[in-house]
Chains A and B, each alone.
Chain A
Amino acid sequence: MHRSFLKTFVTGTIAVAALGCGALAVAAETEVKPPEKHWHFTGPFGTYDRAAAQRGYQIYKEVCSACHSLNLLSYRNLMELGLSENQVKGLIAEIQVPDLADDGSAIDRTARLSDHFKNPFANELAAAAANGGKAPPDLSLIIKAREDGPNYVHGLMMGYVPFDKLTPEQIKEAAVTKDDNYNKYFPGHRIAMPPPLADDKVQYVDGTKATLDQEASDVVEFLAWASEPHLEARNRTGVRVILFLLAMAGLMYAVKRQVWADKH
């Protein structure tokens, strides 16, 4: 009797849980969902597309870094994107970072591999003052700090609608004027950041054609890596651990059957 109960219970629980998850998802859909895109880093065998992430760094450096910090990363981390030490040194050669000289006076010096990414503003107050009262968020964890992060950031880059293309309802709902920016995927739609990317905003060093979609995808690849730099090691370890546990569980089941053979 209790065996069949166990089965009913397990099936029932899974059904209820599935129902619950579905319903939760429905409840979260009050905001416009960005389009689903396939990412190189999703799934248990996902890895980062090095070339895309390097292009993404170019976008960050040439566009985003004007306003957004990337505090949790150091320049040395760029070597994880398949760049050699000398390549990274070349990339950061022109960056000047604040430091103290031996006599204690404030100086600017060339960035080193061990330096954290340079903050575009001296401090948060300066960042807020230069950006209409609110500091632009740090991007180190942005992909993990937003629901459906990769698709959201990609959607945000693509989701700007010019004022003259907005319907009267959209203008009313978001309370935007022609001086504001309207974004389909930003909660509330009115966003302080002007459209950061556009076709041919950058000229890629690897010759890839810089469409808006390409730029948005590349910067997401870079920021996803910035958010979760050890994803590849995690996936690799995970596959091994699960295979090991499956084998051990199989073995353990055989032992258990053997031990119990005379009891039932």
Chain B
Amino acid sequence: MASSHGAPPVFNNKVIAWIDYRLPIFSYIEKEYHTFPTPRNFNYFWNFGAIATVMLVLMIATGIVLATNYTPHATLAFDSVERIMRDVPSGWLVRYLHMTGASFFFIAVYIHIFRGLYYGSYKAPRELLWILGVVILLLMMATAFMGYVLPWGQMSFWGATVITNLFSAIPVVGDAVVTWLWGGFAIDNPTLNRFYALHYLLPFVIVAVVALHVVALHVHGSNNPLGIDPKGPQDTVPFHPYYTMKDGFGVLCFMIVYAAFVFFAPNYLGDVANYIPANPLVTPTHIVPEWYFLPFYAILRAIPDKLGGVICMFGSIAVLFVVPWLDTSRVRSCTFRPIYKWFMFVLVIVMFLLGWCGANPPEGFFVPLSRVCTVYYFFHFLILLPVLGKIERPLPLPPSIADAVLKKKAG
């Protein structure tokens, strides 16, 4: 941990002092969440780490309550979810909080990732911090996918069919792997049971990786919109109360939008077909995953070859692991990268276009569009990022954070 946190705290409360002498949790909280020096120039993009943490806790809390009422059995799961919706006191609230919460957890995390990409938060010395973040994203995706299967509706069942079948593309052992994943020769009760077990387990793995993510963050502290390191106390503020209060405000704003969906449009982000019980004999017209997977689903279907599609889909996440080494720029923040900045906007637009392609059947102009966007996605990371860093001339960096903040105030 950084050594510049000042003298160790003195606790007046005897009980706290006694505990802290033996197990320094209070010193830890004091050091990491109170006096922790944090760049003074965060914009509201820096709220999304806190927001994502709140969503994770909320998902686990609502999930545990749901688990106490849910029945993981192929013939009972659908009705048990409806029992939660109808007969369990406030069950509808807990279920809608959880269901919509998954979407809003992804919204928070996607904005958090965009912020990291735009302001170069992955660059040295924060490479491991970034990699842990990508691990969290992968774990979230696995958890969300398996959670979506649990209500055992039509889209649960057929989504699980499509995704688990992807593994059959693996040469030689593919079919064996799929049988192993299913726990049988078709998606059935054993599949539901293992998905339920893992859906309950993985969130706690996420908590552990989030803890590592925070530990890694607190070694060198947060990046900031200027992407330059704090040079002294004039560049930082203590985490509390400055950022606890700002995060509190940001979390509440996010909660307003979240609550609007939970209470007034809880099914807007879902698929109507998941209110039809799973039927292995009837395939829905369009099998679509939840919205947060659509861009990756589009990449999967953009490739005419099954194995190629699977490789590209997993590759689109895997490429994020090496972003710290693909970026050759001398500066972190896009604020000082006059060319790359615009390509970041293009990447966002391409992601939306891919999502649009993923939501539609792969026919007509969606086929070429998804291919162009897929190529662009990989072009952005594999070619643009390394090449542009070499040829782009960054704008001059301000001498310090305080200097930039105070100059802006004066100007």
Query: Which positions in A face B, CB cutoff 8 Å?
Result: 1-3, 5-6, 9, 12-13, 16-17, 20, 23-24, 27, 43-44, 71-72, 77, 137, 140-141, 144-147, 149, 187, 227, 229-230, 233-235, 237-239, 241-242, 245-246, 248-249, 252-253, 255-256, 259-260, 263-264
Q: Is the CB of A17 within 8 A of B352?
A: yes
Indicate the member of A227, A249, A255 with the most B CB atoms within 10 Å. A249
Q: Does B348 reach chain A (CB closer than 8 Å)?
A: yes
Q: Does B255 reach chain A (CB closer than 8 Å)?
A: yes
Q: Is the CB of A259 within 8 A of B242?
A: yes
CB within 8 Å for A235 and B273 given contacts A230-B85, A259-B241: no
CB within 8 Å for A2 and B259 given contacts A255-B245, A260-B242: no
Q: Is the CB of A234 within 8 A of B248?
A: no
CB-nearest residue of chain A relative to B119? A2
Q: Is the CB of B242 within 8 A of A6?
A: no
CB within 8 Å for A20 and B352 given contacts A253-B249, A259-B245, A263-B237: yes
Q: Does B126 reach chain A (CB closer than 8 Å)?
A: no
User: Which residues from B are CB-within-8-Å of A71?
Assistant: 79
Q: Is the CB of B260 within 8 A of A242?
A: yes
Query: Which positions in B face A, CB cutoff 8 Å?
Result: 40, 43-45, 79, 82, 85-86, 92-93, 96, 225, 237, 241-242, 245-246, 248-249, 252-253, 255-256, 259-260, 262-264, 266-267, 272-273, 275-276, 285, 335, 341, 345, 348-349, 352, 355-356, 359-360, 405, 409
Bound: A145/B255 CA distance, A: 27
User: Which residues from A are CB-within-8-Å of B409?
Assistant: 264
Count of inter-chain pairs, beta carbons less than 8 A: 113
- Tell which of B93, B237, B259, B341 touches A242, judged by Cβ atoms closer than 8 Å: B259
Bound: A160/B386 CA distance, A: 62
Q: Is the CB of A238 within 8 A of B249?
A: no
User: Which residues from A are CB-within-8-Å of B82?
Assistant: 72, 140-141
Q: Is the CB of A149 within 8 A of B272?
A: yes
Bound: A141/B242 CA distance, A: 48
Bound: A264/B6 CA distance, A: 24
Q: How far is the CB of B188 from chain A (nearest CB, A)?
A: 18
User: Which residues from B are CB-within-8-Å of A6?
Assistant: 43-45
CB within 8 Å for A263 and B256 given contacts A16-B349, A235-B264, A256-B246: no
Bound: A238/B255 CA distance, A: 12
CB-nearest residue of chain A relative to B395? A1
User: Which residues from B are CB-within-8-Å of A256?
Assistant: 245-246, 248-249
